[in-house]
Structure 1
Amino acid sequence: MDKAGVRPSKNYKDLVVKASGYENLPFGEKDCRNYINKVRNKLLGEGDAEALRNYFMRMQENDSFFYVIDLDEESRLRNVFWANAQSRAAYESFEDIITFDTTYLTNKYKMPFASFVRVNHYGQSVLFGCGLLSNENIDTFVWLFEAWLKCMSRRAPNAIITDQDRAMQAAIARVFPRAKHRFCLWHIMSKFPHKLGSHSQYENFKGALLNCVYDSLNYDEFEKRWQQVVESYNLKENAWFCQLYGEQYQWIPAYVKDTFWAGMSTTQRSESMNAFF
């Protein structure tokens, strides 16, 4: 199905239908996507991998260019990271916060494209390095973060914004243990209609929920408003909603405002960089 052009999400849903339910599959959509990416990566031709390496070597001759290539047991290209002199120099001035994103897949091999981005003092997006990944598991993210950290003279950021990916979260805790990790607010809020839209009273409490998230000025105000929504609309049994509450320190504005974020609350800076590539 992947070779026929079927997207991984639809590919997985087809397996769910054939298995008669999510509970009958011993793996999740992320596992399915990682498997597909792993098989795709084996298709990376020797000529292309060699051309990439040769290009990086030429860049390194005339510039403060940095790259790392990760090979598998059969010496096939698995992951790659690179950053040019401009990216490395820019990080010396703006090393306090970065956004990280891997949603871009528009390339010949459909490998996840990862980008490290921040805004400068003019509000412009600045690229701090990027890579192509074979999959999106913990080990891969640890490899990428370590490569990026080495490139930036082991100066870790004070804060980082990503989506809610669990593998990404675990890798950040391992490589950047002191960094404040914030989830992309836009990604979370965009899930509300999908996760809660089937609730019979969703339209009634949607406004109260948005006010709770965006208008709460402190912890107490947020807690009070959140509990009112939970109790008034019987959301105690909603597992996704309860999980969000348990992670409020990583996405609710009232809980993250004590950290400097350069005016950013989402990973859209990283995503907008995809238009360039």
Structure 2
Amino acid sequence: MDMNVDGRLKNVFWADARSRASNEYFGEVDTFDTIYLTNRYEMSFAPFVGVNYHGQLILLGAGLIFNEDTETFTWLFQSWLNCMGDEAPKAIITDQDRAMKNANAITFVFSNTRHRFCLWHILKKVPEKFGSHGAYKDGLKSQLLKCVYDSQTIEEFEKCWEVMITIYNLKENAWLQSLYAARTYWAPVFLKEVFWAGMSTTQRSESMNAFFDGYVHARTNLKEFVDQFDNALKKKIENENAADFHSFNVTIPVVSISPLEKIF
């Protein structure tokens, strides 16, 4: 718990034994997002989310934070690090909009962690930024997506981006300039050498947020929040156990005549 000078609660972080154990196995890649509900105390819910060998979401710790500034994020990340035996994640994914607020904290606390921006959030803004452009549907959109998804080398990306900027006269576009300046944080071609556990977005965090929707809401008080949070985790453990049982007791039917597939 983090208190202010008057002894009032500012921020909270907690992780149970299961989250700590899960981090040993699956803590290589985290997604972190604070987009979820702000409760009646004006505190944002901030979960650290990973993925297990079933592809299921797992909670690696969570916080309720009063502010979204560098000082608060530094405290939260340091609390997480202390809890996890100083084992920092190898990679972390955050929302680009909040990245400037937590990037300094990530660099300070997780100095060797590779930081990535959520690609989905970035591309979601494309219609808003360029929907009114005359060539948006006639080539601009497809050219941008080609740069993002079809570039196999950094050189290809740079060339493709330059062509797009030149053809559509976008040299003065401030949003694209800022995006290009931060390209090593979001463009897949700059990130493919890092293990991401199949994740490129914070939608995993948002899916975890959605999981809690049946248990907590913006008017849940702090005592109820902790109890309901515990109930939600119990349900998640049931789902994990069911997936474990299924994987040990069900044989997946082969879809080809390949002997190799049958062996697997």
Counterpart for residue 175 of structure 1? 109
- Choose which of 58, 68, 73 in structure 2 pairs with 1:141: 73
**Structure 1 stretch displaced more, 107-116 or 169-178:** 107-116
SS at match of 1:274: helix
Displacement of 1:115 after TM fit?
A: 0.6
**Identity of counterpart residues, as a percentage?**
56
Task: Calculate the TM-score normalised by the size of structure 1.
Answer: 0.73
- Choose which of 83, 86, 89 in structure 1 pairs with 2:15: 83
Alignment partners' CA distance in 2, 1:95 and 1:123: 13
Matches within 5 A, 1:230-249: 230-249=165-184
Displacement of 1:87 after TM fit?
A: 0.3
Alignment partners' CA distance in 1, 2:176 and 2:42: 32
SS at match of 1:182: strand
Alignment partners' CA distance in 1, 2:7 and 2:133: 51
SS at match of 1:237: coil
| Structure 2 runs not aligned, ≥5 long | 213-264
Q: Is 2:86 the counterpart of 1:151?
A: no
Counterpart for residue 225 of structure 1? 160
Alignment partners' CA distance in 1, 2:202 and 2:46: 12
Counterpart for residue 213 of structure 1? 148
Q: Is 2:17 the counterpart of 1:109?
A: no
Counterpart for residue 64 of structure 2? 132
SS at match of 2:59: strand
Displacement of 1:191 after TM fit?
A: 1.0
Counterpart for residue 11 of structure 1? none
Counterpart for residue 203 of structure 1? 137
Displacement of 1:276 after TM fit?
A: 2.4
Alignment partners' CA distance in 1, 2:131 and 2:109: 37
Alignment partners' CA distance in 1, 2:43 and 2:185: 28
Counterpart for residue 187 of structure 1? 121
Displacement of 1:123 after TM fit?
A: 0.5
RMSD of aligned alpha carbons:
1.1
2:10, 2:66 within 8 Å by CA — same for their partners in 1? yes
2:27, 2:60 within 8 Å by CA — same for their partners in 1? no
Using CA pairs below 8 Å that are at least 6 residues apart, which structure has the higher relative contact order? 2
SS at match of 1:245: helix
Counterpart for residue 12 of structure 1? none
CA-to-partner distance for each residue in 1:76-107, whole Å, 9 max, x for gaps? 11100000111000001112111101000153
